[in-house]
Amino acid sequence: MWLIALAGFAALAVVSYPPSWHVSRGLITIAHEGGHALAAVLTRRRLHGIRLHSDTSGVTLTRGNPRGLGMIVTAGAGYVAPSLLGFGAAWLTAAGYITLLLWGVLALLACMLLMIRNAFGVISLLATGGAVFAVSWFTEPKVQAVVAYAAVWFLLLGGVRPIVELQRKRRRGRAPDSDADQLARLTRIPGTFWVALFLLVSVAALAAGGWLLVDLPAVLPAAFGSG
């Protein structure tokens, strides 16, 4: 249990400290753009490519009805994708499916690699996939578990911060074409509503994922000395 808590505090430190966040934020961008891409495929939009940039931004290019439900779902999937992925990973980790989680991540990265359209994006995915493969193939199960817990905490915590940053940029007029503002134009519902919805989903995923990781139903009785 202390290792799980330590992994959580380590992930929180990485997300909270600006220099480390600037370096690691690209991993959240991979999940963000992957969410757009998956939503586009599921809504039968044509996926033309994904670009990842060195400033940790990214773009997913799709083609189809510019105002339909598919476009709304695709635009709305990005900011919640890291948190939802983190929740799914928390469920697998808590259930003991560490190896399945690692190989599932590798499969998702491989699928995403096929759609990358710039050199930096290719390098980013190969580096990330190489690290995951090394952990899954060359380390012991205990090491895999620690890495998995840290990665899940990072996704859950790291999924919240970009949403807060988004709203700050919107207040300063620095994000006129953000996902939230695109959704506002598509639905005529204010962008602030969409930011709040993104934040609600991410915080809920963090709470639920944390509950699974820490196994609170078992921890609380033990902490109070009851059955």
Q: How many domains does the chain have?
A: 1
Distance CA 28, CA 104 (A): 17
What pLDDT sits at residue 100?
94
For residue 167, what are its two tokens?
């709203």
Q: Taking residues 74-100, what's their average pLDDT?
A: 96
Confidence band of 2 (pLDDT split at 50, 70, 90): confident
Taking only the tens place, the pLDDT of each residue in 181-195 is: 999 999 999 999 999
Closest by CA position to 62, among listed 85, 39, 81, 78: 39
Which residue range(s) make up the domain with 218?
2-223
pLDDT greater than 50 at residue 223: no
The structure's pTM equals 0.93
pLDDT at 225: 54
Half-sphere exposure at residue 203, Cβ-oriented, CA atoms within 13 angstroms:
8
Q: What is the pLDDT of residues 130-145, one digit of tens each?
A: 999 999 999 999 899 9
